[in-house]
Amino acid sequence: MAPPPYATNPERIWHYTFRVLCALIFVFLIGPILVIVPLSFNAEPYFTFTKAMVAFDPEGYSLRWYEDFFTSSAWLGAIRNSFIVAIFSTLLATTLGTVAALGMSSRYMPYRVPIMAVLISPMIVPLIISAAGMFFFFSKYQLTQTYTGVVLAHTALGIPFVVITVTATLTGFNHSLTRAAASLGASPVRTFFKVVLPLVTPGVVSGALFAFITSFDEVVVVLFIAGPEQRTVPIQMWSGIREQISPTILAVATLLVMVSVVLLTVLELLRRRSERLRGLSPG
């Protein structure tokens, strides 16, 4: 996008300088991720570019690491555990976070500021502290090394994302709609499902996706809470780097990047839909 015709020379210089800075920041953030993708097709068991890869020799590229991933019982078990934990923790976090956000959006809610601080504290407190606290708390009730304990721990980490996104959606919510539904005889439950929920669905789904990503990507808490049977993909990758270095990790990382891109695309589409519903032009 070129600067406007009436822009002065300093404004033009800043216009292009700003774009160069943004491009450098983008490369700094995305560069390490982009390096992983071609390395995952390396025909040799190395984490560096071979001469054949640099020369674009077809013999230097292979799908052997992807084949190793899809034929490994350890990796497939980790994928299964990650999806089981992520799905159930997302459902719990979305339900509890949505209810909490609805309560926080009410003007009759007392002590909203301190309660909101408590709800989003898992995002602020260092994960190592949260993981240690969960370990001692869950150990008391024998929830460590169980799927239940891992799901509950991931639920606690996902709730803040749901609360923030749903609360942001409710900021522009027209409460006269709920009052109109009540005046027409609708019960609170019917009003929620027929009026409130359809309008806040983009925020709920966005929060659910953030909770899912947080659960699927969590390492520290799983190290404290999970046992060998609850090993997830991040733990499998961590163990693979420490115990047996294999480019299969790069193949898994590439697949996870693709999943993240899809989820971020869905989030952007939901954001645009939310703005259209609220009468704003998507930007």
CB 277 within 8 A of CB 202: yes
pTM: 0.79
Kindly tell me the burial class for residue 111, based on how many C-beta atoms sit within 10 Å of its own C-beta (0-12, 13-18, 19 or more): exposed
Which pLDDT does position 273 carry in this prediction?
Answer: 72
Kindly tell me the burial class for residue 107, based on how many C-beta atoms sit within 10 Å of its own C-beta (0-12, 13-18, 19 or more): exposed
Which pLDDT does position 152 carry in this prediction?
Answer: 93
DSSP result, 1-26: -PPPTT--HHHHHHHHHHHHHHHHHH
CB 81 within 8 A of CB 242: no
Residues of the chain with pLDDT under 50: 282-283
The architecture in CATH of the region 74-277 reads Orthogonal Bundle (1.10)
Which pLDDT does position 274 carry in this prediction?
Answer: 65
Of 185, 210, 170, 171, whose CA–CA distance to 86 is shortest? 210
Kindly tell me the burial class for residue 157, based on how many C-beta atoms sit within 10 Å of its own C-beta (0-12, 13-18, 19 or more): buried
pLDDT for 185-235, tens place per residue?
Answer: 888 888 888 888 887 887 888 889 889 988 888 888 888 998 888 888 888
Reduced to 3 states (helix: H, G, I; strand: E, B; else coil), residue 143 is coil
**Rg, C-alpha atoms of the chain:** 24
Strands (E), the chain: none
Which pLDDT does position 228 carry in this prediction?
Answer: 82
CA torsion 19→21→23→24, rounded to 10°?
A: 170
Kindly tell me the burial class for residue 236, based on how many C-beta atoms sit within 10 Å of its own C-beta (0-12, 13-18, 19 or more): buried
